[in-house]
């Protein structure tokens, strides 16, 4: 089978297509024949290497993770043989491959007929988009500020905020093309946060401040966002695309504001039943067409480097998908 790994850190060109034997699932794991693989931003950062003390640290050889959707073809010792034949979504390592090994305990059932783009979102990206809104205790009528709203998590979070009853949703992104997209997926206001005066634009749209901030950009974007929170406002920090781990200025919190961190792995470990229910809830929303994934591009596995180029250029709208058997 074909698989993509990297053996040195660097640009997209370090991604290497190789022919290998399909892996054999160990105890508690399954083998999945991948039909689609959602490419996640974090893997472009791991590929670049750790730099000096950076937060994106993964050893070599690089085995990119991905939001895999496919069919279980084999199970390892202890895994339920009835899983064979099931269509599932799973966050897996060594995911840029025709066959992928996944944890049997974290397989999301994929409704028959669900589009591979939507199905890929059930592995990680959708559950993150939904849970960060709930971690923020978003309630009906809230004003919600979603950063990087044109991205994989972002474009789902905008839609989910609306579905959960948000009043005003403000999405940020760079470039007018992305801002148009952010409005198209349902944001009431789209703000270009590459402009230095972006906080004033948010303030103009939400004069009393925003109730919820969803941020995985970090740095000055997070810092400015804290000042935009209304009294009782909540910010959820779930990443730092800039690599800049901002310090939270405690003085900002005295104005009745709070900040919460989120990480999906920790969430699944601490609240597995609720995490599973939310994945099923998302499957229902996708199946009914109330929630939609925009697939920016579908590429064959051998063009994984192009997928990373697109993400490095920050030009994607929504999901970048690899199709290993195309």
- Asked if residue 293 binds ligand NAP (CB under 6 A), the reply is no
Which of 72, 241 has the CB closer to ligand NAP?
Answer: 241
CB neighbours of 201 closer than 8 A, spacing ≥ 6?
Answer: 189, 191, 192, 195
Both structure tokens of 247: 């310090």
Give the helix ranges, DSSP H, for the chain. 41-48, 116-121, 125-135, 152-163, 176-184, 198-205, 219-228, 250-253, 264-270, 272-287, 304-312
Among positions 55, 167, 314, 323, the unique one binding ligand NAP when judged by CB under 6 A: 314
CA 24/CA 30 separation, integer angstroms: 8
CA distances from 16 to 34, 96, 298, 302 (A): 18, 10, 19, 9
- CB-count burial class (<10 Å; 0-12, 13-18, 19+) for 86: middle
Strand pairing category for 295-300 and 319-323: parallel
Which of 130, 153 has the CB closer to ligand NAP?
Answer: 153
- Asked if residue 260 binds ligand NAP (CB under 6 A), the reply is no
Q: Which of 152, 94, 149 is nearest to 310 (CA)?
A: 152
- Residue 112 CB, nearest distance to ligand NAP (Å)? 26
CA distances from 55 to 48, 67, 204, 311 (A): 12, 21, 34, 18
- Asked if residue 263 binds ligand NAP (CB under 6 A), the reply is yes
x-marked contacts with ligand NAP along 119-148 as a string, rule CB under 6 A: -----xx--x-------------------x
Which of 26, 269 has the CB closer to ligand NAP?
Answer: 269
Identify which range of 9-17, 93-101, 152-160, 248-256 contacts ligand NAP by CB under 6 A: 152-160
- Residue 256 CB, nearest distance to ligand NAP (Å)? 25
Among positions 3, 162, 178, 292, the unique one binding ligand NAP when judged by CB under 6 A: 178
By CB under 6 A, how many residues form the interface with ligand NAP? 25
- Residue 240 CB, nearest distance to ligand NAP (Å)? 7
- Asked if residue 268 binds ligand NAP (CB under 6 A), the reply is no
- Asked if residue 238 binds ligand NAP (CB under 6 A), the reply is yes
Span 32-91, contacts to ligand NAP by CB under 6 A: 40-42
CA 46/CA 11 separation, integer angstroms: 11
Binding residues for ligand NAP (CB under 6 A): 40-42, 124-125, 128, 148, 150-154, 173-174, 178, 216-217, 238-239, 241-242, 262-264, 314
């Amino acid at each position: 089978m074909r698989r993509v790994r990297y053996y040195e850190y660097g640009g997209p060109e370090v991604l290497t297509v190789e022919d290998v034997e399909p892996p054999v699932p160990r105890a508690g794991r399954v083998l999945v024949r991948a039909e689609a693989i959602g490419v996640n931003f974090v893997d472009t950062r791991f590929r670049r290497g750790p730099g000096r003390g950076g937060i994106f640290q993964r050893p070599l050889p690089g085995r990119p993770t991905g939001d895999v959707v496919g069919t279980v073809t084999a199970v390892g010792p202890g895994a339920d043989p009835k899983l064979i034949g099931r269509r599932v979504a799973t966050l897996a390592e060594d995911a840029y491959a025709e066959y992928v090994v996944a944890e049997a305990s974290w397989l999301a059932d994929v409704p028959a007929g669900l589009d591979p783009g939507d199905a890929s979102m059930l592995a990680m990206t959708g559950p993150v988009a939904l849970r960060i809104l709930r971690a923020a205790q978003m309630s009906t009528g809230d004003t919600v500020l979603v950063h990087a709203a044109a991205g994989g998590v972002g474009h789902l979070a905008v839609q989910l905020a609306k579905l959960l009853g948000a009043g005003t949703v403000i999405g940020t992104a760079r470039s007018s093309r992305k801002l148009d997209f952010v409005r198209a997926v349902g944001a009431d206001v789209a703000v270009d946060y590459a402009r230095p005066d972006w906080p004033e634009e948010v303030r103009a749209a939400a004069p009393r401040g925003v109730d919820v901030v969803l941020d995985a950009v970090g740095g000055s974007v997070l810092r400015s966002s804290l000042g935009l929170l209304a009294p009782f406002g909540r910010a959820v920090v779930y990443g730092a695309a800039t690599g800049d781990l901002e310090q939270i200025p405690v003085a900002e919190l005295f104005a009745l504001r709070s900040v919460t961190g989120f990480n999906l792995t920790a969430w699944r470990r601490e609240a597995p039943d609720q995490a599973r229910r939310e994945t099923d809830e998302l499957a229902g929303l996708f199946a009914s067409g109330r929630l939609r994934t925009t697939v920016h591009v579908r590429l064959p596995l051998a063009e994984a480097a192009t997928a990373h180029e697109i993400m490095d250029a920050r030009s994607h709208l929504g999901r970048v998908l690899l199709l290993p058997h195309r």
